[in-house]
Amino acid sequence: MKPFRIEIPQADLDDLRDRLDRARWPRQLPGEGWSRGVPVDLLRELDDHWRTGYDWRLHEARLNEFPQFVTEIDGHDVHFLHVRSAEPDALPLVLTHGWPNSFVEFAGLIGPLTDPAAHGGDPRQAFHVVVPSVPGFGFSAAPSGPGWDTARVARMWAELMRRLGYDRYGTQGGDLGAYIAPEIARLAPEHVVGVYVISGLGFPTEADVPEMDEAERAAFAALMSADWMHGVDHHALLRSAPQTFTYGWHDSPLAALAWMTQKFHDFSAAGPLEKAIDRDLLLTNVTLYWLTGTFGSSSWTYYDSSASAWPAGQKAVPTGVYSGPPGIRRLAERHNTIVHWPADNPSGHHFIAMDRPDALAADMRAFFAKVS
């Protein structure tokens, strides 16, 4: 394992600023709010901050405060953070980010997990935290060919934890991580004490409707009417022509910013994007994608699939879920042994690690206290 530091060449930052300065802006199309996509006025404001107010070097330095490493697994370099707690009996925990996110997703969560006493928690519920970058994201090498799936990534994570000397550990994931985290338990149940999923388990489908009661039908109706179910269909887009769209994201930071802003807006369940997520944190994620050139390679889970489906989970070890609705516990229990399903957690599940890291950390501690 080789120590790693983020050290972006100044020339790359200068090129980014130059491209932003020379952006060719379109006119606003007719329509209210987000009805035609990201509003020009909103994106101009965010772009202006990216050009003149955002400081990558500041956030680069903050990210470099976390110990980082690169190791080769399955023929691919894997970048990861490894932050050990000062508490000797801390539980090892591997966190898996989603799309369109990165390890940046967990920047505010690591402290509450590794040092709960400093964040109002019980020091006996501390974690040693491992945050790998999924292949094709950030500083991890991209998949070298077709045919990759979440089970292959799960095998890489299990091997990573073995190399780090962790025999018993927990797994966590949201979005793409909600598929990978259960796969680790299915692959290595003797090593995983529990799986914690942000959201996605027990999501109903049309096939479940005939067996639903009134409350479950209401949950299904809420799911089908949710804003994030009716945004840009990135599944279809990235399955059909990811290379075509990658040209724009890779060459134009304005196009990249618009795409990321659209998807973060679509996925934000905690109200307006500008109120839900700190804009510097959002821009750090966008800048990381830009500087590493990973807009195309990070979409491999979509272009290697023929259809989309909700994560199913596993029954090998106990499962905890941060956010239930619109998931239905009864449906989740078909494929999972659910031991933790709180009904009163703060909303905003898709980006809760960025929006409410303290609330997420507290709930994770509650779950893993039950299973470890």
Provide the percentage of residues in the chain whose pLDDT is more than 70. 97
- The pLDDT confidence band at residue 326, using thresholds 50, 70 and 90, is confident
* E runs forming strands in the chain: 2-4, 68-73, 76-83, 91-96, 127-132, 169-173, 192-197, 318-321, 337-340
Taken as a whole, the chain contains a residue count of 372
Q: What is the rounded distance in angstroms from the CA atom of residue 37 to the CA atom of residue 265?
A: 10
146: which DSSP letter?
A: S
CA distances from 241 to 149, 235, 238, 307, 363 (A): 19, 11, 6, 14, 39
Q: What is the pLDDT of residues 22-61, one digit of tens each?
A: 999 999 999 999 999 999 999 999 999 999 999 999 999 9
- The pLDDT confidence band at residue 271, using thresholds 50, 70 and 90, is low
- The pLDDT confidence band at residue 338, using thresholds 50, 70 and 90, is very high
Q: What is the rounded distance in angstroms from the CA atom of residue 11 to the CA atom of residue 176?
A: 33
Which CATH number is 65-217+308-371 given?
A: 3.40.50.1820
Burial of residue 333 (CB within 10 Å: 0-12, 13-18, 19+) is middle
Where do the domains of the chain lie?
A: 2-60+226-303, 65-217+308-371
Residue 228's pLDDT is 64
Q: What is the pLDDT of residues 205-262, one digit of tens each?
A: 889 999 999 888 888 888 787 766 667 788 888 988 999 999 999 999 999 999 999 9
Burial of residue 285 (CB within 10 Å: 0-12, 13-18, 19+) is buried
Please list the residues that pair with 65 across neighbouring strands.
Answer: none
Residue 145's pLDDT is 87
Tokens 């979409």 — which residue? 299
Residue 91 pLDDT greater than 90, yes or no:
yes
Neighbouring CB atoms inside 10 A of 262's CB total: 19
Residue 274 pLDDT greater than 80, yes or no:
no
Residue 111's pLDDT is 98
CA 95 to chain centre: 9
| pTM for the structure as a whole | 0.95
Instruction: Output 65-70 pairs: Cβ under 8 A, ≥24 positions apart.
Output: 66/107, 66/110, 66/131, 67/3, 68/3, 68/4, 68/5, 68/6, 69/1, 69/2, 69/3, 69/4, 70/1, 70/2, 70/4, 70/139
Average pLDDT over residues 329-338: 96
Q: From its phi and psi, is residue 136 left (phi > 0), alpha (psi between -120 and 50) or beta?
A: left
